[in-house]
Amino acid sequence: MEIRIEAHVAHVAVSAADVLESYVRSGPVTLGLATGSTPVPTYRELIRRHREEGLSFARSRAFLLDEYVGLARSHPESYYSVIRSEFVSHVDLADTAVQSPAGQAADPEQEAARYEAAIRSAGGVDVQVLGIGSNGHIGFNEPGEHLDSRTHVGLLAEQTRTDNARFFESIDDVPRRCITQGLGTIREARHLLLIATGAAKADALAAALHGPVTSDCPASVLQLHDHVTVIADKAAASRLQ
Ligand code: F6R
């Protein structure tokens, strides 16, 4: 596992964008994209490189990690919309090349199985961007999740609903269910790129990297993977040994 500690969020973004750019330039690539606040500066850096340095995503495709159940795709906080407004619509990544679970599927369990199969039939993910929840989740795999789980319908932890309330008018509007790639699904990506910024992630990051591998801290499955890059700012890395 490679751990890069950067002085500022801006340096984290450059460092993470460097990793992604090397894949994107190498040929057809399948990216795994996270939403949430953490990767936004990285996506902005990639957008800048697209505009100013000719970085092309024309040969890339992407799978999102997760989606809220019950939000229409047109809802501004659906991850379908968020990844487009934060990243996809600003680069030459074809809209149809970006897949995510359908949060409004009539049968979410069936949709989870369809999504799992879609990732597999695409040949899997080459490089998966991950953020980490303050409770140690990755994707929406909350504490207690089986370490080998596949894409499934899950319940958001109250901590996660509280953390994500900032994106909604009130906590009551934060969905309670999600469809998320499972921990086993995420572990099949060939390279995991975890980005962590801010002091609120320090405990979770330390537990993930230095604690036991346990479903109490889903991100601890990173320790089971042979190609992991962690890029953190000083605040998020403050509890690392
Ligand atoms: C988002 C996702 C989540 C977030 C995590 C951190 O697609 O899967 O695991 O990465 O909740 O969120 P932020 O970056 O908003 O702190």
In the chain, how many domains are there? 1
Q: Ligand 1 centre from 197 Cα, in Å?
A: 11
Range of the domain at 29: 2-125+138-197+207-233
Alpha-carbon distance 167 to 26, whole Å? 35
Q: Is residue 202 part of a domain?
A: no
137 catalytic? Reply is yes
CATH number for position 150: 3.40.50.1360
Q: What is the ipTM of this complex?
A: 0.99
142 catalytic? Reply is yes
53 catalytic? Reply is no
Ligand 1 nearest atom to the CA of residue 130, by list position:
10
Q: Is residue 57 part of a domain?
A: yes
Per-residue pLDDT of the chain (241 residues; tens, 9 = 90+): 999 999 999 999 999 999 999 999 999 999 999 999 999 999 999 999 999 999 999 999 999 999 999 999 999 999 999 999 999 999 999 999 999 999 999 999 999 999 999 999 999 999 999 999 999 999 999 999 999 999 999 999 999 999 999 999 999 999 999 999 999 999 999 999 999 999 999 999 999 999 999 999 999 999 999 999 999 999 999 999 8
Q: Is residue 239 part of a domain?
A: no
Ligand 1 nearest atom to the CA of residue 79, by list position:
7
Whose CA is closest to 8, among 231, 207, 206? 231
Q: Is residue 212 part of a domain?
A: yes
Alpha-carbon distance 151 to 171, whole Å? 25
Best of 137, 158, 162 to mutate for ligand 1, by most ligand atoms within 8 A of CB?
137
Which residue has 């605040």 as its token pair? 235
